[in-house]
C-alpha cells in the first residue's frame, strides 16, 4: 500500500541529490532510515561500564539550570 507525504521543495531537492540512478524515493528513505538504525545500534552500550551516562546527566542538568524556568 502506498502513502503520500508532503515535503518542502528543499527536502525534495536534498532527497533527489541523495537518490541513486536506480533508486526510487522510497529506496532512498529506506536506506537513510536503515543507516540511522545502524548508527544507533553501533552506539548502543557504548557507555556501559563507565560513568559517562551520569556525567552527561549532570551536564544536562547544569545546562537546564543555566537556562532558567520556562
Angle, in degrees to the nearest 10, between helices 25-43 and 9-18: 80
* Any domain includes 15: yes
Task: Give the pTM.
Answer: 0.59
Its domain, for residue 53, covers 9-67
Q: With respect to residue 20, please indicate whether it lies within any of the assigned structural domains.
A: yes
In this structure, is residue 54 part of a structural domain? yes
With respect to residue 4, please indicate whether it lies within any of the assigned structural domains.
no
Q: What's the domain count of the chain?
A: 1
Distance of alpha carbon 46 from alpha carbon 65, whole angstroms: 27
Contact 23, 33 (CB under 8 A): no
> How far apart are alpha carbons 58 and 35 in whole angstroms?
30
Measured at the CA of 66, the angle between CA 55 and CA 68, to 5 degrees, comes to 125
Q: Would you write out the chain's pLDDT as a tens digit for each of its 70 residues?
A: 889 999 999 999 999 999 999 999 999 999 999 999 988 888 878 778 889 888 889 999 989 887 766 5
Amino acid at each position: 500500500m502506498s502513502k503520500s507525504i508532503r515535503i518542502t521543495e528543499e527536502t525534495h531537492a536534498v532527497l533527489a541529490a541523495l537518490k541513486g540512478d536506480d533508486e526510487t524515493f522510497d529506496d532512498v528513505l529506506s536506506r537513510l532510515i536503515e543507516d540511522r538504525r545502524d548508527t544507533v545500534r553501533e552506539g548502543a552500550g557504548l557507555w556501559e561500564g563507565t560513568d559517562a551516562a551520569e556525567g552527561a546527566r549532570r551536564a544536562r542538568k547544569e545546562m537546564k539550570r543555566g537556562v532558567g524556568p520556562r
